[in-house]
C-alpha cells in the first residue's frame, strides 16, 4: 500500500536536499550572481563599461562571472514588441560583443538581422490585415452612412474581429522568429 505523505513531509525532504549544497556550489552561485548584477547595472546605464567591475575577480572565478553576465545579456535579447525595446536590446548586444570580443560580431549581426526581419514581417502583415478589414468593412460603412445620412468611421483596430485575427497572426509570426532567435542565442551561449 502506498504511503500518503503530508505536504510538510515533502517540503522537509526538499529542504534536506537543498541543505546539501556544497561550498563549491555556493561559491559558483555567488560569482554567477555577481556577473548577473554587473550586466543588469550595465543595461540600466549605471555602468558604462561592462568589464570595469571584473578587475578584482580572481582568475579562477572569472569564467563563472562572465557566464552570469552573458545569461543576463542574452535574456534581454528578445523579439521587440515596440521601438522602445530596441535600446535595451542594442545595449545587450553591445555588451555581448564587449564580453566576447570580435568573435561575436558575426553572430550579433545575424541576431540584429533576425530582429529587423521580425519587425518588418510583423508590420507588413499588420498593414495587410488593415487593408483586408478596410475593404471588408467598406461596404458596411457605406450602407450605414447612407441609412443614417452621415459619415461613419469605424475604428478598425478596436474591432474584436481585427484584434482576434491580429493576435492569431502575430503569434504565428512570433513563434517562427522566436525559433530562429533561440537557436542563435544557444550558439551565443557557447562562445
Q: d(Cα 64, Cα 67) in Å, to the nearest integer?
A: 5
8 A C-beta contact, residue 104 and residue 188:
yes
Mean pLDDT of all residues in the chain?
Answer: 89
Confidence of residue 187 (pLDDT cuts 50, 70, 90): very high
Q: Could you read off the pLDDT of 67-87 as tens digits, one per residue?
A: 999 999 999 999 999 999 999
Q: Could you read off the pLDDT of 29-42 as tens digits, one per residue?
A: 999 999 999 999 99
Confidence of residue 170 (pLDDT cuts 50, 70, 90): very high
Q: d(Cα 150, Cα 106) in Å, to the nearest integer?
A: 58
Could you report how far apart the first and last alpha carbons of the chain are, in Å? 52
**Phi and psi angles of residue 70, each rounded to the nearest 5 degrees, phi first:** -65, -40
Q: What pTM, to 2 d.p., does this model score?
A: 0.81
Domain ranges of the chain: 1-75, 79-191
Q: d(Cα 172, Cα 177) in Å, to the nearest integer?
A: 9
DSSP helix/strand/coil, 49: coil
* Nearest one of 45, 73, 50 to 62, comparing CA atoms: 50
Amino acid at each position: 500500500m502506498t504511503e500518503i505523505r503530508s505536504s510538510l513531509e515533502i517540503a522537509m525532504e526538499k529542504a534536506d536536499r537543498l541543505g546539501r549544497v556544497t561550498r563549491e556550489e555556493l561559491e559558483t552561485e555567488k560569482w554567477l550572481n555577481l556577473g548577473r548584477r554587473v550586466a543588469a547595472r550595465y543595461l540600466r546605464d549605471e555602468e558604462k563599461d561592462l568589464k570595469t567591475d571584473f578587475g578584482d575577480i580572481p582568475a579562477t572565478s572569472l569564467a563563472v562571472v562572465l557566464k552570469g553576465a552573458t545569461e543576463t545579456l542574452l535574456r534581454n535579447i528578445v523579439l521587440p514588441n515596440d521601438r522602445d525595446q530596441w535600446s535595451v536590446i542594442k545595449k545587450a548586444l553591445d555588451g555581448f560583443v564587449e564580453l566576447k570580443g570580435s568573435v561575436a560580431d558575426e553572430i550579433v549581426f545575424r541576431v540584429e538581422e533576425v530582429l529587423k526581419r521580425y519587425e518588418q514581417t510583423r508590420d507588413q502583415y499588420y498593414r495587410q490585415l488593415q487593408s483586408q478589414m478596410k475593404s471588408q468593412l467598406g461596404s458596411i460603412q457605406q450602407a450605414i452612412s447612407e441609412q443614417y445620412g452621415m459619415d461613419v468611421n469605424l475604428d478598425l483596430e478596436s474591432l474584436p474581429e481585427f484584434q482576434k485575427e491580429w493576435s492569431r497572426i502575430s503569434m504565428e509570426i512570433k513563434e517562427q522568429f522566436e525559433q530562429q532567435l533561440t537557436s542563435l542565442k544557444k550558439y551565443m551561449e557557447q562562445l
